[in-house]
Structure 1
Amino acid sequence: MLQIKLLPGAINEIMASVAENSSLTESDRYGLMAAVLDDSISEEERCSVNRLLRSVVKGRVQLR
């Protein structure tokens, strides 16, 4: 079975990148996937991921 491991501080880096560019790269998307699958992230990080995904759905953040 494939293990996906989230790098420490990855969510904060993704949030900063999106705030600067208003877009998600492919590597950002893989980081978000790892975050969603990681049961050990904090509630604050989970809320940040959810907020970012809602922004994508609403069209505020573009996919590159």
Structure 2
Amino acid sequence: MPLINLLPGAVYAIVASVGNNNYLTQADRYGLMAAILDDTLSEDERKSVDRLLRAVMRGRIQVIDELSVIN
């Protein structure tokens, strides 16, 4: 299994991006996957990931197939 490393501040960057755009890109999803697999995630970061995933499940955030979107 490949080693997955979460970049520092990545969770908050994803939350900010999704807050502005209301969608998750493929890059965002890979970042969330890395966050979920990271054992050193803070409680606040874990709660942020949970809120994002809950919003996706409820249909408030759209999931798009673009790798990334430049605004």
TM tier, shorter chain? over 0.9
Shift of 1:2: 1.1
Measured on the aligned residues, the alpha-carbon RMSD in Å equals 0.5
Residue 16 of structure 2 corresponds to: 16
Counterpart check, 1:49 vs 2:38: no
TM-score in terms of structure 2 length: 0.88
Identity of aligned residues (%): 61
Distance 1:43 1:17 in 2: 20
Q: TM-score, normalised by structure 1?
A: 0.98
Q: Which runs of 5+ in 1 are unaligned?
A: none
Q: How many residues align?
A: 64
Q: Is 1:7 the equivalent of 2:7?
A: yes
What's 2:63 paired with? 63
Instruction: Determine which structure has the larger helix proportion and give its number.
Output: 1
Q: Which consecutive aligned stretches of 4+ in structure 1 deviate over 6 angstroms post-superposition?
A: none
Secondary structure at the aligned position of 1:54 is classed as helix
Determine the structure 1 residue equivalent to 2:67: none
Ranges in structure 2 where 5+ consecutive residues have no aligned partner: 65-71
